Amino acid sequence: MELLRDLMRLQHARGFLDDNTLREVAERHRVPLYRIEGLVGFYPSFRRSPPSAVTIEVCRDVTCALSDGEKQLQQLRDAVADRRDIEIREVSCLGRCDTAPAASIGDVPIAPRTMADREYLLQLLKGPTALSETSTPERRSWKCDPYSDPADHYSTVAGLAADRNQLATTCIAKLQESGLAGMGGAGFPTGRKWDLVRQAAGNTKYVICNADESEPGTFKDRVILEQLPHLVIEGMVLAGLTVGARQGIVYLRHEYSRERIQLDQEIVRARQRGILGNNAAGSGQEFDIEVFVSPGGYILGEETALLEALEDKRGEPRNKPPYPGTHGLWGQPTLINNVETLALSTSIVHFGASWWQEQGRENFSGLKFVSISGDIKTPGVFEIPIGTPVAELIALAGGMRESMSLKAFLPGGASSNFLTAAHADTPIDFESMKNVGSMLGTGAVIVISEGRDLFALATNIVRFFRNESCGKCVPCRAGSEKAVQLLEEVIRDNAVAAELTVLPELGETLEQTSICGLGQVALNPILSMMRRFPDEVPVPS
């Protein structure tokens, strides 16, 4: 971690990493220069040349495309055309889909106003102090939060910590009874994962909070970190005391600079209250938490790529098995859960499994944080009972924008399969979404209205996966590039739609031969769109 942290610190101080800086780092850490160059060339946040005085990063992905991002980007370029000190960069999802089209200035997000208010954006360019004018979303009362008074935060772990064996038994039993599945997309049973790491042999273990959500449409973990950081920290402490770990790490995407402030402040409060430290929550066991800021890249949300980054390597996924539960960080047993899973684990340990099961709709159990964006009036994050129909979620978000009609939606982020308006009554639940041919995934619903060009939107998503491929797998690297070339040729009317018949076979190859989930799902959006909406495929003129 120290090597990448040193590189990020130097870039922050100097603006870029020149040859002399790389040699300096190589000598200080006593590693070959080629290894440093390999790291800098891999991670997208590193720069090898001096940046402009002001850099504006603008999201180019699907939700921002739905919010006239391309049109507003051109207007912004025109507005600053005479400013040679300003560089405008198109980037992958910034995690601010609720304020699309999203932008940031010098890595500082300017949501909630964003690029939609160009005059405001131009005002910000007059000086960095204006960035303090941005506001934060109104705080809500969340049903999963057991604490109405901040003074009561961490009382759950404090009440259990005196007997660590009993704490571990209680946590695992309640999580297993509740049936809580991992909320990062894979859906692996949380209680079983905690138990596997607890039983794994090893004196050194780690607990990692994966806060690197980077898929277009996904921003629920960002809101949880901002408004419920105490639940995440308490979940990590409960997990650490359960599995026997002494070190916790929050792996945070670098675009979440505002949320890091909230998280850092809460970690300090937890230390001051004795929840973190040499005698965590009075348990007699050491457990502390540090924050590692990612140097960028969607692929780092994959748990083994994340581990590679923490070990100061290129963030390329590992072959599995072995799994992180037995061979994780530095080869030691490692528990990895995402932000939402840890927050909900705290709630379940506090309230109990029966409470959790009562929260869902009929025949369903539990609560879910869902991001919703796209063609709706009030994009945002909603805490809903599992089993809530998609149509009801859209109504919670104010309904369709400008009284438009629903045409399609992605129920689980950019990697999920397109569903039609006829599927709007499908319950928001892992199994229910699987049964209709898609997946709940990250719990990110992207809503698309009539009149939208679904082929162009699906191509936008495939382009995202092409851009974010780490390049380790030849099928993923070459296959995603081939798919994008073909789709763009069809859009430009330089290829006939019949040529798209190669895509199903290409998608099957990627699914079967890619090491990680990125390559396995890269063509899902376009294949499902063509299957559900065959009339949307362009016809040559």
Domains 155-354 and 363-449 share a fold: no
Provide mean pLDDT across the span 482-511: 87
Whether pLDDT at 131 is above 50: no
Task: Dump pLDDT digits (tens) for 89-112.
Answer: 999 999 999 999 998 887 778 766
Task: Dump pLDDT digits (tens) for 167-203.
Answer: 999 999 999 999 999 888 777 899 999 999 999 999 9
CA–CA gap between residue 392 and residue 361 (Å, rounded): 12
Helices (H), 387-473: 390-396, 430-435, 454-468
Whether pLDDT at 114 is above 70: no
- More confident site: 55 or 336: 336
Task: Dump pLDDT digits (tens) for 462-479.
Answer: 999 999 999 888 889 999
CA dist 76 to 109, 178, 246, 359, 407, Å?
16, 50, 49, 46, 30
Task: Dump pLDDT digits (tens) for 396-406.
Answer: 999 999 989 99
Helices (H), 45-183: 62-66, 69-79, 118-124, 155-160, 164-178
pLDDT of residue 540: 63
CATH no. for 363-449: 3.10.20.600
CA–CA gap between residue 464 and residue 452 (Å, rounded): 19
pLDDT of residue 129: 44
Task: Dump pLDDT digits (tens) for 348-379.
Answer: 999 999 999 999 998 999 999 999 999 999 99
Give burial (CB, 10 Å; 0-12/13-18/19+) of 435.
exposed
Domain 54-132 is in which class? alpha beta
How many CB atoms lie under 10 A from the CB of residue 177? 15
List residues bridging with 381 in a β-sheet: 371
Q: Classify domain 155-354 at the CATH superfamily level.
A: NADH-ubiquinone oxidoreductase 51kDa subunit (3.40.50.11540)
Residue 478: its H or E element: helix 474-491
Task: Dump pLDDT digits (tens) for 338-356.
Answer: 999 999 999 999 999 999 9
pLDDT of residue 495: 67
pLDDT of residue 122: 72
Domain regions of the chain by residue span: 2-42, 54-132, 155-354, 363-449, 454-536
Confidence band, pLDDT 50/70/90 cuts, at residue 336: very high
**In the chain, what percentage of residues exceed pLDDT 70?**
96
Whether pLDDT at 133 is above 60: no
Task: Dump pLDDT digits (tens) for 17-49.
Answer: 999 999 999 999 999 999 999 999 999 999 999
CATH no. for 454-536: 1.20.1440.230
Tell me which DSSP letter residue 15 carries.
S
pLDDT of residue 404: 93
